[in-house]
Amino acid sequence: MTSLYKKNEICFALLWIGIYCVGMSLFDNLSKAIGLENSVSAVFALVASVFLFLWIRKSNLTEYFGLRKTTAPAKAFLFFIPLVVISLRNVWSGFSLNYGSVQLVCFIVKMLCVGFLEEIIFRGFLFRAMSKDNVKSAIIVSSVTFGIGHVINLLNGSGMNLADNIFQIIVAVFIGFLYVIIFYRGGSLIPCILSHGVLNSLSAFANSEAPETEVLIFRMVLLIVLVAGYALILLKTLPPKKATSEQ
């Protein structure tokens, strides 16, 4: 693993994207097959998270991949208030308990680990590898790849329909853009990991009633405006420097 990383960081990132996407889809389906949703995939996500964290620490890459404090004070990030609002997006319409107790624990463990894994893989591995050649291209590819990766929800038996999945992909591209700006300008993935984990976990408590199409579109536009606006503010106000020093 270390030899591949040293030889080609982009191939290393793509390998982990493949492992993550295939593994989550496979183990989500296996969880359903045994009658306990998210159980096996939660174990997979937890094992993968621990493995990557230990590898990053052993390789002395914690700062390189943003597992540190931000280089700018919280005030420069508007005290992360817009990020908190975005993280609560799944409960904007109220609360609804969508799982039993055991399934809820499995789901939350899985979603917290997914927040860590996706940030490390897409913002850490992929963005850092590509940013050595072209930062703008790295930002775009990292954001778009992260969004498109959510098409897996059409293939893993989640029950999500095409319209909802397209909505999810569009929003994920914008949120991915915000997260990569926070990492690039602030030097830390920790706010992104926390926001991502909370955002995912709160879907367990999202209102299960399907909104009208007009309401859905309004919420999507509002979320995109909030995400894009916050990202642009950070681009204007945070110091224009790389997330970490080169290795």
Give the pLDDT confidence of 41-67 residue by residue, as tens digits.
999 999 999 999 999 999 999 999 999
Q: What is the pLDDT of residue 244?
A: 43
Convert the pLDDT of each residue in 22-35 to its tens digit.
Answer: 999 899 989 999 99
Q: In this predicted model, which residue has the larger pLDDT, 182 or 212?
A: 182
Q: What is the pLDDT of residue 209?
A: 73
CA distance 1 to 12: 8
- Over pLDDT 70: what percentage of the chain? 90
Question: Residue 160 in contact with residue 75, Cβ under 8 Å?
Answer: no
CA distance 176 to 146: 6
Check whether 134 has a pLDDT greater than 70.
yes
Task: Please tell me whether the overall predicted TM-score, pTM, comes out greater than 0.95 for this model.
Answer: no
154 — pLDDT class (breaks 50, 70, 90): low
CA distance 182 to 202: 22
Q: What is the pLDDT of residue 200?
A: 94
In order, the DSSP letters of the chain are -HHHHHH-HHHHHHHHHHHHHHHHHHHHHHHHHTT-TTHHHHHHHHHHHHHHHHHHHHTT-TTTTT-S--SS-GGGGGGGHHHHHHHTGGGTT-B---S-HHHHHHHHHHHHHHHHHHIIIIIIIIHHHHHTT-HHHHHHHHHHHHHHGGGGGGTTT----HHHHHHHHHHHHHHHHHHHHHHHHHS-SHHHHHHHHHHHHGGGGB--SPPPHHHHHHHHHHHHHHHHHHHHHHHHHS----SS---
CA distance 110 to 124: 19
Lowest-pLDDT choice from 9-13, 90-94, 160-164, 207-211: 160-164
Of residues 162, 119, 152, the one with CA closest to residue 24: 152
Give residue limits of the domains in the chain: 2-61+72-237
Q: What is the pLDDT of residue 242?
A: 47
Q: What is the pLDDT of residue 94?
A: 85
Q: What is the pLDDT of residue 213?
A: 72
Q: What is the pLDDT of residue 245?
A: 44
153 — pLDDT class (breaks 50, 70, 90): low
Check whether 188 has a pLDDT greater than 60.
yes
